[in-house]
Amino acid sequence: MVDRKMIKEIKVKTALSPSQLPGLDYALNPYRGCAHACIYCYAPSVIYWDKGKWGDLVEVKINLPRVLSKELRTKKKGVVGLGTVTDPYQPAEKKYEITRRCLELLQMHDFPVCIQTKSSLVLRDMDLLKRFSKIEVGITLTSHDDIVRQKLEPGAPAVQERLNALEELRKNGIDTWVFMGPVMPYITDVELLLNVIADVKPKYVLVDRLRLKEGIWDCVTDFLKKYDSQLINEYDRIFQKHGEYYGEVLELIKAGRESKYKNLPVKTWDVSGVVP
């Protein structure tokens, strides 16, 4: 997969940046651009991407470990979110190992780390993950159905591969969580996906709605034209005319607590906290 993408090596001046995300003090992103090419990705608007179609070019921060090494000598200890904008275990990581080298440094300085990825490549670094005094790995899932996954996240690993990775991490004593998002209206089967996730016993699941930041509406409608054009009107109702949908999803999740995933803590951005 990496061969079809254009890779460019770049140099950066800083490594850690302050993070506003809950529970994180710093953000660290070894790559700009992401070969997973998810149709709903809002990273381009976060980093003001102006280098063509998202997914076609990946910039590798080739000197990041060296810069991080210097920063870790002086920065106050805090939780580092690894992959807050782009995926730290996307295909380029197989060759470049920037994420791995950053993890080695963070472990050496005993910084707590929270990784977010869609890739089972994280298992490659199990030896390293096990040496941290505090680390957790979050894996993203948007559908239980791999046919849907291929359309939503064409460059990312299969659903089963991600579930296996969650299981393997947990068996090795690594804390795991699932980012279940974005919930795509009428596409993500929320109950079925929660049941599948419950089987691999993460510490918790964070459910998120689709966030239509700049430029994403066009990507989503292009996707819907191919997936099911009848859904375009429904998405228009929900996102352009502020129609109801996600409130019903929350109700569904609450009601489903009686079923298989009753012991699974489910949090959402919208109601912040565990759904009772």
Vertex 87: Cα angle to 82 and 93 (nearest 5): 95
Name which of 100 and 118 has its Cβ closer to ligand SF4. Answer: 118
Name which of 117 and 176 has its Cβ closer to ligand SF4. Answer: 117
Closest distance between ligand SF4 and the C-beta of residue 189, in Å? 20
Q: Where in 6-45 is the site for ligand SF4 (CB under 6 A)?
A: 34, 36-38, 41, 43
Name which of 43 and 266 has its Cβ closer to ligand SF4. Answer: 43
Nearest residue to 34 (alpha-carbon basis) of 9, 6, 74: 6
Closest distance between ligand SF4 and the C-beta of residue 42, in Å? 8
Kindly report the three-state secondary structure assignment for every residue of the chain: CHHHCEEEEECCCCCCEECCCCCCCEEECCEECCCCCCCCCCHHHHCCCCCCCCCCEEEEECCHHHHHHHHHCCCCCCCEEECCCCCCCCCHHHHHCHHHHHHHHHHHCCCCEEEEECCHHHHHHHHHHCCCCCEEEEEEECCCCHHHHHHHCCCCCCHHHHHHHHHHHHHCCCEEEEEEEEECCCCCCHHHHHHHHHCCCCCEEEEEECCCCCCHHHHHHHHHHHHCCCHHHHHHHHHHCCCCCHHHHHHHHHHHHHCCCCCCCEEECCCCCECC
Q: Hey, which residues does 139 pair with through a beta bridge?
A: 117, 178
Name which of 33 and 256 has its Cβ closer to ligand SF4. Answer: 33
Binding-residue total with ligand SF4 (CB under 6 A): 11
Name which of 72 and 115 has its Cβ closer to ligand SF4. Answer: 115
Closest distance between ligand SF4 and the C-beta of residue 210, in Å? 12
Closest distance between ligand SF4 and the C-beta of residue 236, in Å? 23
Is residue 102 a contact point for ligand SF4 (CB under 6 A)? Answer: no
Q: Where in 222-261 is the site for ligand SF4 (CB under 6 A)?
A: none
Q: Where in 107-166 is the site for ligand SF4 (CB under 6 A)?
A: 118, 153, 156
Q: Where in 40-99 is the site for ligand SF4 (CB under 6 A)?
A: 41, 43, 86-87
Name which of 37 and 264 has its Cβ closer to ligand SF4. Answer: 37
Closest distance between ligand SF4 and the C-beta of residue 36, in Å? 4
Closest distance between ligand SF4 and the C-beta of residue 166, in Å? 16
Name which of 5 and 267 has its Cβ closer to ligand SF4. Answer: 5
Residues near ligand SF4 (CB under 6 A) are 34, 36-38, 41, 43, 86-87, 118, 153, 156
